[in-house]
Structure 1
Amino acid sequence: MRDADGFDEFYRATSARMLRYGYALTGDLSEAQDLVQEAYLRAWQRWRRLAGYDHTEAWVRLVLTRLATDNWRRLRNWRLILPRAGPPGDAPAPSEDTVLLVGALRRLPTAQRRAIVLHYLCDMSVAEIAVETGSSPGTVKSWLSRGRAGLAAVLDDLTPEANDVA
């Protein structure tokens, strides 16, 4: 078993210093936090061997430096690849039907909206929805029925053609 107390003591004594070092390397606090966490994870995995080192903190600092360098390399590769690929194309505007449907779905109660989306957009069965939501199949059927009725009513109110005919 690893010496958890020894590692905890080492972590408490060095982690703030290591975070400052990581932040100085990357210039980004959240990235530094991620890298420091990864460096300490690697140290924990090898703690039995590292605990005997004279300069354990130097080992963690070296790992942190290498992790930051790997990130820089990855970013450099992306910077080389992206200009060749060109900018992404413009995303098409959503259709009027999509806008109406999303607006109608937003007006439904959350449970009904979730059941409708899972059933019709994610192709899940009533039984699968029941398992995912922790409800009975009868409750899911009720949500679907009420949701369809609610959608029909809302879409009738939102559809421009229905308003023009009246």
Structure 2
Amino acid sequence: MNERTSSILVSSMEPADVTLAFPLVAIDEPGLTLAVWRRRAKRLTSPASRGKNGVFLARYAGMQGPCGAAFYHVVPQGKDRNAICHIKRIVVLTMGPSHPITIALIQATSEMARRLGCQETHIRLVRPDPYTLSGLCSSGYASEAILLHKNITSPELVVH
């Protein structure tokens, strides 16, 4: 941990965090309502989902509301193989650089995956900045694939 990540606290989302996390998640998911988020978050914070699905929240030290969230899912690979932890989505909202928050969230999720006996951690990042990629590569992550996306729907065919 360096001086940039030392002021970032990461913990599992608890039921008391659900309402505080809503604005952060809603920024990344237009149209999400508080009622829908509460139902989804109830499943993500239930004791039955521990070690299978969940959310880590990042906060600056001394702040109540989260500035980042990492959604994860642990997938069993069969009786003779360890599970894989998939970090499906990371959302960060900050006035400063986002990479310290992103890296802190990934480190916390990877530590949890290691404690659960996962074989690997796979991360899906949308438009990562070079600092995040550099930080991840220096801590042992390697890219396995590049996914490119192009919208091929003609603007006049889009239904509004």
Q: Which has the higher strand share?
A: 2
Whichever structure has more helix as a proportion of its residues is: 1
Calculate the TM-score normalised by the size of structure 2. 0.25
Question: With structure 1 as the length reference, what TM-score do the two structures score?
Answer: 0.24
**Which structure would you say has the larger RCO, counting Cα contacts within 8 Å and 6 or more residues apart?**
2
